[in-house]
Amino acid sequence: MSDYLDCVITEHNPAQKDIDRAVIWLHGLGASGHDFEPVVPQLGLANDMAVRFVFPHAPKRAVTVNGGMVMPAWYDILEMSLERKIDVAQIEASSQQIQDLIRREIERGVAPEHIVIAGFSQGGAVAYHVALSYPERLAGLMTLSTYLATNENIAYSAANKDMPILIEHGSHDPVVPVILGEQAQKLLSDKGYNVTYRTYPMAHQVCMPQIQNIGKWLNSVLA
């Protein structure tokens, strides 16, 4: 039996029908599973869908670029160059923990093709690694204000070659420059993936127009 990550669970429409859709959404560096919990009621999800949102808490670890301070982190960031040198072994370990959460949702009765993997910033880098390598077809991949950190380490899965991918970024992001979102979009589009790419006039954050667009996208891929 797996030792699952601690998670915040929020359910949309659980009284309407049995939960048969899921979104596993990863927070950014130094945050927690509560970070995106308030967003769920603002998404405008369809009333005929019952969706479980799973917001895992990252383990606490020392982060080199923050002076070795211990904080919730999916992996260590070794330097803040544009290439974003990271601890690949840690991102792979975190990806395995998220795959465990996917399997738990499947055991609860949610088909893999009804599961979305999402992540913000550092969580988005893990979401890329998980979804692009997952051996069964998923509903979609959503990455926000992030970068594709492990392109050379991902065993790209043919099962998810046609998976919808939503990449969104702030055009004024000082933490993860928008060029990194553009690079991920180009790399995946060149590989033949179905990518939707949007930017918003904001920094390293989310905004209400974006949340509304995310809700529309979730309604589409989870329908």
Structure token digits, residue 218: 């979730």
Check: CB of residue 166 under 8 Å from CB of residue 137: no
Q: Which of 89, 214, 210 is nearest to 149 (CA)?
A: 89
Residue type, 192: G
Angle at 201 between CA 197 and CA 206, to 5 degrees: 75
Cα separation of 216 and 143, whole Å? 15
Catalytic status, residue 204? yes
Check: CB of residue 203 under 8 Å from CB of residue 174: yes
Element (H, E) at 7: strand 7-12
Phi, psi of 151 (to 5 degrees): -50, -40
**SS3 label, residue 115:** strand
Which of 35, 76, 87, 173 is an active site residue?
173
Catalytic status, residue 121? yes
Which of 100, 189, 204, 220 is an active site residue?
204
210 φψ region: left (φ > 0), alpha (ψ -120 to 50), beta (else): alpha
Check: CB of residue 122 under 8 Å from CB of residue 28: yes
Catalytic status, residue 173? yes
Which of 121, 129, 133, 169 is an active site residue?
121
Catalytically active residues are 121, 173, 204
